[in-house]
Amino acid sequence: MTVVAEEPRVEELLALYERMAVIRATEKAAYDLFMAGLVKGTTHLASGQEAVAVGASAALEPDDYVFATYRGHHHAIARGATPEACLAELMSRATGLCGAKGGSMHLTVADHNMLGSYAIVGAHLPIACGAAWSAKLRGTSQVAVAFFGDGATNIGAFHEALNLAAVWKLPVLFVCENNLYMEYTSIKTVTAVAQPAAGRAHAVVAVQRAVAAAAARARAGDGPTVIEALTYRQYGHSRGDPGKYRPQEEVDAWLKRDPLLVLAERLRDRGVDQAAVEEVDAKAREEVAAAVEAAKSAPPPSEETAFTDVWADGGAQWRT
């Protein structure tokens, strides 16, 4: 099944740009809050990778399933989380997205079927297969989308999930956010193929251009798709990593390909005034600034919630 995507209208491009600008501003706020000592635990930023989350989400239906990695702020917001809820979660506030129990590495938007961010590398890929299998058994048109980094392609769960998806022709999309580095190691030094996801996905169809087309294939019963998106994180692996192992010329080259800069240029080519683009940027910064203040002033979670939503029955009594 072939789907030819139409050129988005200017209004749609502006909406995509605004969503990316909000994510970028939220990531900057997370960085500043971490440096100020207000973020509990570590945090992994996705600045530079916003286009993957926003572009994919725009091609999905509201009830499709999404699974992300611990670098999942952009996916949570793309699927409906507010900057305030995300930042409050990072600061361990009661108003946080997970009530202060998830932190940066476990953002979840369950009511929008964004079913978690996973700290164990590759662990969510078989889980995405399970969600896709559920949709297939129930006869719905839902698809499951698992976003993962290039480092996960060397994990056994990656190969197992792709094989299972192909055997059962599951409506699942595997989207590799290939930002060229695993944790601190260049993916090319430990992987024998140039494309660690698409280049080794012989059991499934490798489609790199359109999530919409891949989702249409899945909904039509034609099985899974692997999509590899070349991207680049503008920060180090986590907040404790200055990223000095990356060649400066490489960093500079990728900064020139910043997805916000690229889309802003495309908008100008489509006749959008620069002032309109700057207005969107300002609006995003104002939204996130208000979210920061709201999250800072929110209360911590009460002690009564410590054992709720921890086990299936809402408590830990069964362990005694």
Q: Where are the domains of the chain?
A: 10-237+271-294
Model confidence band, residue 6 (pLDDT cutoffs 50, 70, 90): low
- What pLDDT, on a 0 to 100 scale, did the predictor assign at position 127? 96
* Separation of alpha carbons 97 and 175, rounded Å: 24
Around Cβ 168, how many Cβ atoms within 10 Å?
15
11 vs 85: which has the higher pLDDT:
85
Least confident of 167-171, 182-186, 233-237: 182-186
Model confidence band, residue 198 (pLDDT cutoffs 50, 70, 90): very low
Closest CA to 53 of 33, 38, 73, 28: 73
* Separation of alpha carbons 81 and 114, rounded Å: 9
pLDDT exceeds 70 at position 57:
yes
pLDDT exceeds 70 at position 230:
yes
- What pLDDT, on a 0 to 100 scale, did the predictor assign at position 315? 57
Q: What is the pLDDT of residues 92-150, one digit of tens each?
A: 999 999 999 988 889 999 999 999 999 888 899 999 999 999 999 999 999 999 999 88
**What's the average model confidence in pLDDT over 155-159?**
87
* Separation of alpha carbons 205 and 226, rounded Å: 6
- What pLDDT, on a 0 to 100 scale, did the predictor assign at position 241? 63
Least confident of 64-73, 95-104, 176-185: 176-185
- Report DSSP state, residue 198: G
Are the CB atoms for 77 and 35 separated by under 8 Å? Answer: no
Rg of the chain's alpha carbons, rounded to an integer? Answer: 20
Tokens of 127: 């889980």
Greatest mean pLDDT range, 22-31, 220-229, 243-252: 22-31
- Report DSSP state, residue 110: G
Tokens of 313: 């029955």
- What pLDDT, on a 0 to 100 scale, did the predictor assign at position 208? 32
Least confident of 15-19, 96-100, 197-201, 310-314: 197-201
Pairing of strands 65-69, 114-118: parallel
Tokens of 152: 């996960």
Percent of the chain's residues with pLDDT above 90: 44
Q: Which residues, 6 or more positions from 32, have their beta carbon under 8 angstroms from its beta carbon? A: none
Query: For the chain, what is the mean pLDDT?
Result: 82
Tokens of 138: 């129930």
Pick the CATH number of 10-237+271-294 from 2.60.120.650, 3.40.50.720, 3.40.50.970, 3.30.70.330: 3.40.50.970
Are the CB atoms for 187 and 112 separated by under 8 Å? Answer: no
* Separation of alpha carbons 18 and 30, rounded Å: 18
Percent of the chain's residues with pLDDT above 70: 81
**What's the average model confidence in pLDDT over 172-177?**
91
Greatest mean pLDDT range, 171-175, 188-192, 253-257: 171-175
Closest CA to 75 of 36, 34, 121, 106: 106
Are the CB atoms for 102 and 145 separated by under 8 Å? Answer: no
The H or E element spanning position 197 is: none
Model confidence band, residue 207 (pLDDT cutoffs 50, 70, 90): very low
Least confident of 16-30, 73-87, 193-207, 259-273: 193-207
Distances (CA, A) of 45 to 179, 184, 185, 232, 270: 12, 14, 17, 11, 31
- What pLDDT, on a 0 to 100 scale, did the predictor assign at position 138? 96
pLDDT exceeds 60 at position 12:
yes
- What pLDDT, on a 0 to 100 scale, did the predictor assign at position 181? 59
